[in-house]
Structure 1
Amino acid sequence: LKVIRDQPTAQYKWGEYAGTDAVLQKYGQVHDINRTGSMLDNIIYYRIRLQTDWFAPDLLEELLSAAGATVSERGPYLFFKHLIVQRRLTPLPVFLQTASPQAAQRAMLNLGYCIKNNTAANIFNKDLDARNYGINRFHKVYLFDYDALEPFTDVKIRTNSDRFDGEEDIPDWFFEDGVIFLPEEIDIGLNIDQRELRRAFREAHGDLLTTDYWERIQNALLAGKVPNIQVYPESCELRQPGT
């Protein structure tokens, strides 16, 4: 169960906050589109009443302080103006803390497929942090947090890879409006501490760190084409004998 905060946390870094209604609209859009098997569905309920004693005191306090514009306490009940319902997943960083090396590397492989599939659906998550992704018991990775989604065709793909070491001039893209994305920084943006897992991600999905990949997908979408999606590794594909 999810409730949208009245104001974003201190980690929010995308200019002016558009408000709760704008975030709910993004969740509604994800519900309506082809989620390519890589975005978690959600249902938004409105005007919900739940018993107050179902909530731990610290959780109740946080709900009323952080989402007081949409959550209120009335007698023995807690009233929600909206409530987002999603299937429960394990947040990816939590999973990686206790997963075996093999399971953790498989999760990183599936994370790359998740990002690629979302992009093919014209969905770009500008908050790349791995905490926005969850994993189910079959080790399939889903994006489940949608407040930072943008149409990928609106994203400006830029790079610093063409700059010289020690070059101090501010790059031209710094002054551009809109959503700027530097592919070479994607593994940093994922905010995954384990170096060996970042390496596994780069080895499996090195194309995600190149502007060529993202520009090719963006150009295909702008031309009205539907890029391929991949919901399982190539090693699991059924093949005809001799191919």
Structure 2
Amino acid sequence: MQSTMSVQETSLAKKAAYLVLSHFDKSYRWFTRITRGAQQRFEKGDWKETQQASRERITIYEQSLSDAVAEIYHLTSVHKKDDGFWRELKKVFAMQLEGHPQFELAETFFNSVIGRIFKHRKIDNDMMFVQPSRCYLPGQDRHKVINSFDTTTTVREMYESIFSLYRYNIPFEDYERDLKNLEDALRARLTAAQLASVQAVEILKPTFFRGKAAYLIGRICMPDETLPFVIAMRRYNEPNMFVDALLTDRKDLSVIFGFARSYFMADTQNPAEVAAFLQELLPNKKHFELYMAMGHYKHGKTVFYRNFLAHLDTSDDQFEAAPGIRGLVMMVFHLPSYGVVFKIIKDEFPESKKITRDHVKECYKLVKMSDRIGRMADTHEYVNFRFPLDRLSPELIEELQATCASSLEFTETELVIKHMYIERKMTPLNLYLQQETDEEKITNALDELGMCIKQIAMANIFPGDMLHKNFGITRHGRVIFYDYDEICLMNERHFRALPKSDDPYAIDTLSVGPTDVFPEQFEHFIVGKRKLKDILKSLHGDLMTPEYWHNVQLKCQRGDVQHFTPYGESKRFKRS
């Protein structure tokens, strides 16, 4: 029987619930203020401030959470409260969320408060929102997040009406050219009959800003088909902007919302409705990926966990070690039927890895706070994550105990991993190159590998361990880096040339410092087979020269901010 709480305890629960919600609302106002500033930063071309704003926005959640937990401790002796108090707190909090436009994010914030208080050891739906308190019905707030445009006019007039509504305090480089490019692109994509059948053109109200790009994201609705309708706009360093592309393929939109890219700045008070609209455009994307792409990465983790639990209920395969060469720092495993990998820092590293556990965590944090430019996989940190023991293969349990026992805790029915990361699953590049027989695909993969290394470097990150086993390849053929234990900023390495000498022993007497790197040696270890080395060297031979890396260091020292277009060059409009 559930005990009846005293009037005093009920009143205390109400105060605590109000306090948590107040801190969430304050946090979201802070989040909104930074997000809303994205347009002004884009208009001013203030790219360093853009990067700083992205980093600041990521830190908001933890700061707000710490403040909320501190006030709860000040309000009451939390560890003297029984479970009944926390159940009442959840019930009162859920009632306060009635009609709240960000209720789902507020539930996640509440979970974080409870998780922090109990060190994530009470994952109980009676005390927190393991499952959502209500079912959100997409469409009920659709009018709050989209603009609809008249389809009875000409194509040009439709575009003119779009840009009369979405206005920016910066001139177009050539407005007439851009309108013509947009019109020609749409007429090339749709037949005359399809154009005549268009029933609606809908565009999300917020502009999606990221880096030096801004996107209007919507859809074209026809009787038998609905297509993405995305206007991609760009800035360089000139005092104007231009329309770079019209994207109507889901593949292009999927890449824009890829897991290796920085979070968008998109100002909305109705994130659930925006996420639902995006889900309709990208049905193959997981819902948690869309929340993460919008910058709500903490709520994305909540939605991921719910998705994970649901998948466990509808599958029966076992967790096992991930395919590929075993890492020296991370133990990686997966569920074959599920699209992520789980990464645990090992207890001990070999002598060749002169790093610590804390160093590895700092490296992963550096990636989180950096512009991932579509080349570094986003990772999400979890503590005390629970796995059902009966779903873990005996071989995996044995390997986990042998490599990372200090991170494990066993109960009768569960394995609790005290600290780990999750990451989107990809095919390891070394396995792909072993199995692929199509010469063109092999060459494309190696070209992608070289571009991946170069673009990461231009983002002021030296990848460190560049063995091809530390890269993955997506289903779209894009190469992504995912091993971060040796990364550092570009200015933290000294790129040197090998001595030019006829003495074969000269290199053995070379004085080498801990930060010295010899790019001429890269060709010997990035890929193994001679044939693959030759292809990579023919495509990206400059990677193997210290001069290339010195040039990148100079650009990073100047503070140059790079922008790499997520869609193909063929999709871009000509500016001449």
What TM-score do you get using the length of structure 1 for normalisation? 0.88
> Could you say which residue in structure 2 is the equivalent of 1:4?
345
Aligned-pair CA distance for 1:167:
4.9
Which structure features the higher share of helix residues?
A: 2
Aligned-pair CA distance for 1:93:
0.5
CA offsets, 1:64-110, max 9 Å, x none?
22101111222211011112111100000000111121111100000
Alignment of 1:21-100 (within 5 A): 21-99=358-436, 100=438
Over the aligned positions, Cα root-mean-square deviation in angstroms equals 2.2
Q: Give the Cα–Cα distance (whole angstroms) in 1 for the partners of residues 493 and 566 of structure 2.
A: 24
> Could you say which residue in structure 1 is the equivalent of 2:454?
116
Runs of 4+ in 1 over 4 A off after TM superposition: 170-173, 227-234
**Partners of 1:133 and 1:145 within 8 A in 2:** yes
When residues 123 and 172 of structure 1 are mapped into structure 2, their CA distance, relative to the original with a 3 A threshold, is farther
Structure possessing the higher radius of gyration over alpha carbons: 2
- Structure 2's unaligned 5+ residue stretches are 1-341
**Partners of 1:217 and 1:227 within 8 A in 2:** no
1:208 aligns to 2:543 (yes or no)? yes
Q: Give the Cα–Cα distance (whole angstroms) in 1 for the partners of residues 481 and 472 of structure 2.
A: 6
1:186 aligns to 2:522 (yes or no)? yes
Q: Give the Cα–Cα distance (whole angstroms) in 1 for the partners of residues 554 and 405 of structure 2.
A: 43
Matched residue count: 234
When residues 30 and 221 of structure 1 are mapped into structure 2, their CA distance, relative to the original with a 3 A threshold, is same
> Could you say which residue in structure 2 is the equivalent of 1:150?
488
When residues 232 and 196 of structure 1 are mapped into structure 2, their CA distance, relative to the original with a 3 A threshold, is farther
Q: Give the Cα–Cα distance (whole angstroms) in 2 for the partners of residues 77 and 199 of structure 1.
A: 49
Amino acid at match of 1:45: Y
> Could you say which residue in structure 2 is the equivalent of 1:13?
352
Higher RCO, 1 or 2 (CA under 8 Å, sep at least 6)? Answer: 1
Partner residue of 1:126 out of 442, 461, 464: 464
Sequence identity (%): 28
Q: Give the Cα–Cα distance (whole angstroms) in 2 for the partners of residues 182 and 231 of structure 1.
A: 31
Q: Give the Cα–Cα distance (whole angstroms) in 1 for the partners of residues 508 and 567 of structure 2.
A: 38
**Partners of 2:527 and 2:533 within 8 A in 1:** no
When residues 171 and 192 of structure 1 are mapped into structure 2, their CA distance, relative to the original with a 3 A threshold, is closer
Amino acid at match of 1:60: I
> Could you say which residue in structure 2 is the equivalent of 1:226?
561
Amino acid at match of 1:49: R
When residues 69 and 138 of structure 1 are mapped into structure 2, their CA distance, relative to the original with a 3 A threshold, is same
- Structure 1's unaligned 5+ residue stretches are none
> Could you say which residue in structure 1 is the equivalent of 2:265?
none
- Secondary structure, in 3 states, of the residue corresponding to 1:205? helix
CA offsets, 1:162-205, max 9 Å, x none?
411225345786342x3221111112121322x22211111111
Aligned-pair CA distance for 1:231:
5.5
